[in-house]
Amino acid sequence: MTQHGTQQPPSTESTAPAPAAIERHRADGLLAFCEAALGAAGADADTAAAASRAMLHGSRFGVDSHGVRLLDHYVTVIAGGRVKGAPDLRFHQGAAAVATLDADHGHGARAAYAAMDLAMEKASLYGIGAVAIRNSSHFGAAGAYALEAAENGFIGLAFCNSDSFVRLHGGAERFHGTNPIAMGVPVRDEDPWLLDMATSAIPYNRVLLYRSLGQALPPEVASDAVGHDTTDPHAVDMLAPLGAAFGFKGAALAGVVEVFSAVLAGARLSFDIAPMGGPDFATPRNVGAFVMALKPGAFVTEMEFDVAMKRYRDTLRASCPAPGDMVMAPGDREWTVAAQRQMEGIPIDPATAEAFDRIATRFALPRPRPVS
């Protein structure tokens, strides 16, 4: 039917291309392929494991923009020399519960997992532990590190700045990075409460994902080169801050991340970081990050915390929904997606499938097989 309801004769030929098939894979097969590819590109075992683990976090929980589609980029920057495949991580002690990590221009996931391990160690002793990270690189989904803390009984927070790609509210030039905020909270005998958000309206990797899928972006999330809103992923020159008409809030939150990740860490400010997408893949970028762990029992008794946290989330989930809608707690969508993908396999977009072909050929590796 047309817009006016006039019946049209059936078409004898298709005018639209058939959608590309989406491959689905087992998590263990993807993990093994990522580790092998990174190792072949020059990463040591610890780096390959950390980077692959972080990517699988994204792919398992439906954060596909920060999942295994990043493998091609990580292979490029390690092979090109921007990211050291075998960094010498060095912690510098501050006050008792505080440290700074010089990541030696290694992979961001390697640095962030190591920093969160130390933060949890300090929180076990002092109730709180915080580590600022400098000379790092892209670390993927911030939620991976917050979840690491929550699964070990701590409240975890993770921040990271990145190269300038987000305009200010009312602005028409790039200023902040996507500057994510993540927080994980343990809930006894249940999946953790988990927040993982960019302070931009969307992450740039989602623009790349939409380009690969041939989909239009939602309105008010990205702008062209002169600051006009665009839904065409191919026309995107910068992202909008979180909040649409109230984007000043997202821009200010990006500034919070900037203070923790760059100012406190001694790393570069977003507008001083070289673009993630190159063309220079040899020069380190000195991206900053910050992780924190808090021990709930240092503030209230463990029982008080467990009861209050469970009641909070249960009551939130039971809150009256708007007509035709539903209420979810932070992390509910991710846990639902993770369970579904464990059964059905992890989907990869066509561009990532092509990248897997190139990587497998380049390093003579067996390509992971889709599930039937």
pLDDT score for 11: 38
pLDDT score for 50: 98
pLDDT score for 7: 39
Q: How confident is the model at residue 22 (pLDDT cuts 50, 70, 90)?
A: confident
Q: How confident is the model at residue 2 (pLDDT cuts 50, 70, 90)?
A: very low
Q: How confident is the model at residue 205 (pLDDT cuts 50, 70, 90)?
A: confident
Q: How confident is the model at residue 203 (pLDDT cuts 50, 70, 90)?
A: confident
Q: Return d(Cα 174, Cα 159) in angstroms, integer.
A: 20
Cα dihedral 117/329/211/51 (nearest 10) = 10
| 251 shares a domain with 167 | yes
**In the structure encoding, which two tokens stand for residue 103, read together?**
């990541």
Cα distances (angstroms) measured from residue 2 to each of 5, 6, 7, 8, 9: 5, 6, 7, 7, 11
**With 90 as the cut, is the pLDDT of residue 283 above it?**
yes
Residue 198: CB atoms within 10 Å: 29
| 257 shares a domain with 185 | yes
| 363 shares a domain with 291 | no
| 294 shares a domain with 185 | yes
* Least confident segment among 184-198, 213-227, 257-271: 213-227
Measuring CA to CA, which residue among 79, 81, 86, 31 is closest to residue 54?
31
Q: Return d(Cα 15, Cα 12) in angstroms, integer.
A: 10
Kindly state whether residue 176 falls inside one of the protein's structural domains: yes
Domain range for 44:
21-80+345-372
Q: Return d(Cα 136, Cα 147) in angstroms, integer.
A: 20
HSE of 125, CA atoms in CB hemisphere, 13 A: 11
Kindly state whether residue 46 falls inside one of the protein's structural domains: yes
In terms of DSSP bridges, do strands 166-167 and 98-102 run parallel, antiparallel, or are they unpaired?
unpaired
Q: Bigger pLDDT: 104 or 204?
A: 104
Q: At what angle do helices 45-60 and 108-126 cross, to 10 degrees?
A: 90
- List pLDDT tens digits, range 141-176: 999 999 999 999 999 999 999 999 999 999 999 999
Q: Which residues contact 315 (CB under 8 A, 6 or more apart)?
A: none
Helix (H/G/I), strand (E/B), else coil: 250: helix
Backbone phi, then psi, for 144, in 5-degree steps? -60, -35
Query: Do the beta carbons of residue 119 and residue 158 sit within 8 Å?
Result: no
| 134 shares a domain with 191 | yes
Cα distances (angstroms) measured from residue 234 to each of 161, 221, 253, 278: 24, 14, 27, 17
Kindly state whether residue 337 falls inside one of the protein's structural domains: no
| 56 shares a domain with 119 | no
Helix (H/G/I), strand (E/B), else coil: 301: coil
Q: Bigger pLDDT: 13 or 187?
A: 187
* Least confident segment among 6-10, 76-80, 108-112, 252-256: 6-10
Query: Do the beta carbons of residue 292 and residue 99 sit within 8 Å?
Result: no
Q: Bigger pLDDT: 265 or 202?
A: 265
pLDDT score for 20: 56
Query: Do the beta carbons of residue 181 and residue 253 sit within 8 Å?
Result: yes
pLDDT averaged over every residue in the chain: 93
| 159 shares a domain with 249 | yes
The DSSP call for residue 65 is: G
pTM: 0.91
Kindly state whether residue 221 falls inside one of the protein's structural domains: no
By CB atoms closer than 10 A (0-12, 13-18, 19+), residue 351 is middle
Q: Return d(Cα 307, Cα 293) in angstroms, integer.
A: 20
Kindly report the CATH number assigned to the domain that includes residue 291.
3.30.1370.60
| 167 shares a domain with 62 | no
Helix (H/G/I), strand (E/B), else coil: 122: helix
Give me the residue label for tokens 């067996």.
Answer: 366
Give me the residue label for tokens 């929180």.
Answer: 123
**With 50 as the cut, is the pLDDT of residue 18 above it?**
no
- List pLDDT tens digits, range 103-139: 999 999 999 999 999 999 999 999 999 999 999 999 9
Query: Do the beta carbons of residue 109 and residue 35 sit within 8 Å?
Result: no
**Number of domains into which the chain is organized:** 2
**In the structure encoding, which two tokens stand for residue 307, read together?**
């009861």
| 189 shares a domain with 122 | yes
User: Where is 194: in which H helix or E strand?
Assistant: strand 190-197
Dihedral sign computed on CA atoms, order 228, 233, 235, 240? positive
| 284-295 average pLDDT score | 98
User: Where is 238: in which H helix or E strand?
Assistant: strand 238-239
**With 80 as the cut, is the pLDDT of residue 5 above it?**
no
Backbone phi, then psi, for 302, in 5-degree steps? -60, -40
pLDDT score for 208: 83
| 362-368 average pLDDT score | 97
**With 90 as the cut, is the pLDDT of residue 245 above it?**
no
